[in-house]
Amino acid sequence: MNNVERYSSKIFEDIKHVDDDGNEYWYARELQKILEYSQWRRFESTIIKARESCIAGKYNISDHFANVGKMVKIGSNTDRRLVDYKLSRYACYLIVMNGDPRKEVIALGQTYFAVQTRKQELLEEKYSGLNENEKRILLRRQTKSGNINLNRTAVKAGVKNLDRFHNAGYKGLYNGETADDIAKRKKLRYREDILDNMGSKELAANLLRITQTDETIENNKIVGEKNACDTHNKVGRIIRKAIKTADGIMPENLDCPNKSIKELEKDTKRKINS
């Protein structure tokens, strides 16, 4: 990643928000400042053009440009409604594509949102073409990487007992079960990794738990072991609630695969060497 890409990624990532379901979004008022529009009315005209592009593409406006205006005080006993929008990544992409091309930051935004949108498309295309074992191996690698980042964030926040911290997340997602409880339920051998013995759906739920906890602690500047553990537990419970709301299968009710990730990787190496 060159300096320009790093800069553009940082300025747009810094104002990104993530909701309880793991969906990322941006506020129009915050994006306005980043894109160097001094007047809201001029920026809103760009939003209107972007909304027209969204309609032309036959997308649902409310999915990408949610109106989240609020009342603000402008004087003694006087309120005024402040217009704002909760924007999806696609909405931001449409806004920068319809923005003032003379602004350097608009060009940076076009690059950032175009690249991020395409990355997501490629990931979805690639993932959908994988079989169950391939999905498991990919997701396991992502959870390993995610846990490295999460551990770093947790220690920075003041966590000393990482086992306690991780169990707080598992308890939230698994309705009170610790890592040891999960291992016993799966009938794993002593010190056998529970994440290595999960199917793709269970790994995906845990990956979301890991990444969202990392981001929540970082963004909200959580300090202290108890607060970090409480945050991890809360994120786990939110993801569990989302699964239940979607009539999904609870993580503890998902089947344990016949082979662990390590066994699958050994099989792959054996095939390559044979």
pLDDT, residue 231, reads 95
| Number of neighbouring beta carbons within 10 Å of residue 33 | 12
| Number of neighbouring beta carbons within 10 Å of residue 241 | 13
266: left (phi over 0), alpha (psi -120 to 50) or beta: alpha
pLDDT tens digits along 104-126: 777 777 767 766 666 666 666 67
Q: Please state the pTM of the whole predicted model.
A: 0.59
What Cα–Cα distance (Å) separates residue 45 from each residue in 17, 49, 107, 256?
23, 6, 18, 53
pLDDT tens digits along 35-59: 889 999 999 999 999 999 888 888 8
pLDDT-based confidence at residue 219 (cuts at 50, 70, 90): confident
**Does pLDDT of 85 surpass 80?**
yes
What whole-number distance in Å separates Cα of residue 25 and Cα of residue 3?
Answer: 24
pLDDT, residue 121, reads 64
What Cα–Cα distance (Å) separates residue 232 from each residue in 20, 177, 224?
13, 14, 12
Which tokens is 87 given?
Answer: 């924007």
The single-letter code of the amino acid at 118 is R
What whole-number distance in Å separates Cα of residue 269 and Cα of residue 146?
Answer: 25
User: In sequence order, which residues have a C-beta less than 8 Å from that of residue 254 and are 6 or more positions away?
Assistant: 198, 199, 201, 202
pLDDT-based confidence at residue 225 (cuts at 50, 70, 90): very high
